[in-house]
Amino acid sequence: MKSNKLVSWLLVIVLVLSGFSFVFAADNIPTAKVVFKASIPDANGVFTATLTVYNATFNAFQFAFSYNAEAISPVDSTGVVASAFTGFGTAAESTSSWMNPVGNKFDSQLGLFECGGYANPGSGSVTADASGMLLYTFTFRKTGTAPVTIRLATEASGAPFNPSIPEGGGLAEGGYNVDTTVEIQLPTELGESVVDKIVSPVSGVQADVVDALSPKALRLRDTIILQIANGTATKDGELVRIDGSNILVKPYIDENDRTMVPVRFIAEAMGATVAWNGLTEQITITYQDKVILMTVGSKEFKINGVVKNMDTTPVINKGWDRTMVPVRFIAETFDRDVKWDPDRNLVIISPLADPWDPDGAIEKEVMTNVMLLLSPLMQKFV
């Protein structure tokens, strides 16, 4: 059972993994900060860099950083060019009791490296105070005279980045991105220090508070976002599992180029009810004053008794034992707008009165957080 507690008019939502309850933080709590700090190179050009988090409660993190591959090279502790992440990046000993490393890799040609980790599921969250919690240490060797240009690897930067985390990553608390400042601290021998800000969407607040405080939350309200071959989705900005009893159940595109989803998930996510008749293999979906009657294997269906046709058929996926239906027909019948994002393989279902605008500024801003929620790292927490 979720419970909301209003602490102040400025709300920061953190969905706590243990118990899944909403907690609201006051604005006098320090903003979470992640610092990537490099040392001065030694006589051989070798230097280390640490990744430390401050003033944050989280249970997962993932970051991607770009660098000038002509100026520095990832090396092991002896200064030899690293052939794998384990030789170049080392998790702090203090994290061994809680952290499961994930997504650790580097590409020396692109000049891109990534690191991540998550707390053991069910063990709750970890908290870094003002003194900081060291996550990783990296070793580089300066190979040229140009600035090293280490930056958070974002799509907006124009540098190499990971398309699955175009905002460069972030801290997460039970599936929610945590507002975080990322500082790149470099000595003058290496180049310029920079500061970036990762801002999370707000979700789960009463409507009047959302309207007043968070355009992002307002945009995500009554919006469902699914991704092909992904067992999770977002609803109202929250990460949800498409099928709680079978993690293999995922949307897919059928031979008629239609996106198929489990009928119970999509119907209930829109507030409808579903009834199944195993003898006739008929599905009845009821939403307000509309009733859809569909039959497995038939393109013919009825809306309030009126016969209509679609260009694909509901099917029973034998491997999953789930009835799959074309999402667009269901959503549009219930007066929802449906958008397809081919670049990210997303189906976006939003209110017809407030349709999703792929070119809208708020949609673009929200999408970076949605993609983090849908990333493999977050799927472990639902």
The whole-angstrom separation of Cα 347 and Cα 327 is 9
- φ, ψ dihedrals at 274, nearest 5°: -125, 135
Q: Are 68 and 216 within one domain?
A: no
Count Cβ atoms within 10 A of the Cβ of residue 143 and give its class: 0-12 exposed, 13-18 middle, 19 or more buried. Answer: middle
Q: What is the CATH number of the domain that holds 142?
A: 2.60.40.680
For residue 374, count CB atoms less than 10 angstroms from its CB and return exposed for 0-12, middle for 13-18, buried for 19 or more. buried
User: How many domains are there within the chain?
Assistant: 2
Asked if residue 12 belongs to a domain, the reply is no
Spatial contact of 119 and 60, defined as CB atoms under 8 Å apart: yes
Residues 358 and 227 in one domain: yes
**Single residue among 157, 177, 198 that ends a domain in this structure:** 198
Per-residue pLDDT of the chain (382 residues), as tens digits, is 333 322 222 222 222 222 222 233 334 446 899 999 999 999 999 999 999 999 999 888 989 999 999 999 999 988 999 999 998 999 999 998 888 888 899 999 999 999 998 887 666 789 999 999 999 999 999 998 999 999 999 988 888 998 878 888 888 876 567 888 999 999 999 999 988 877 544 333 333 333 334 577 778 888 999 999 999 999 988 888 999 888 899 999 999 999 999 999 999 999 999 999 999 999 999 988 899 999 999 999 999 999 999 989 999 998 899 999 999 989 998 899 999 999 999 999 999 988 999 999 889 888 877 888 888 877 766 7
Residue 340 neighbours by CB distance under 10 Å: 13
Q: Do 238 and 165 have their domain in common?
A: no
Do 261 and 327 fall into the same domain? yes
- Whether 146 and 275 map to the same domain: the answer is no
Q: Which residues of 120-137 are buried (b: 16+ CB within 10 A; e: fewer)?
A: eeeebbbebeeebbebbb
Q: Is beta strand 180-185 parallel, antiparallel or unpaired with respect to 32-38?
A: parallel
Same-domain check for residues 64 and 119: yes
| The 300-303 sheet, strands edge to edge | 273-277, 282-287, 290-295, 300-303, 306-309
Shared-domain flag, residues 191 and 279: no
Give the number of other Cβ atoms within 10 Å of residue 140's Cβ: 26
- The answer on 228 and 167 residing in a single domain is no
- 33 lies in a domain? yes
Structural domain span for residue 116: 27-198
Tell me how far apart the alpha carbons of residues 108 and 110 are, in angstroms, rounded to a whole number: 6
**Which uninterrupted H or E stretch holds 33?**
strand 32-38
**What are the two backbone dihedrals, phi and then psi, of residue 239, each rounded to the nearest 5 degrees?**
-80, 130
200: closest CA among 182, 216, 183, 184? 216
Q: What is the CATH number of the domain that holds 262?
A: 3.30.457.10
The tokens of 231 are what?
């067992």
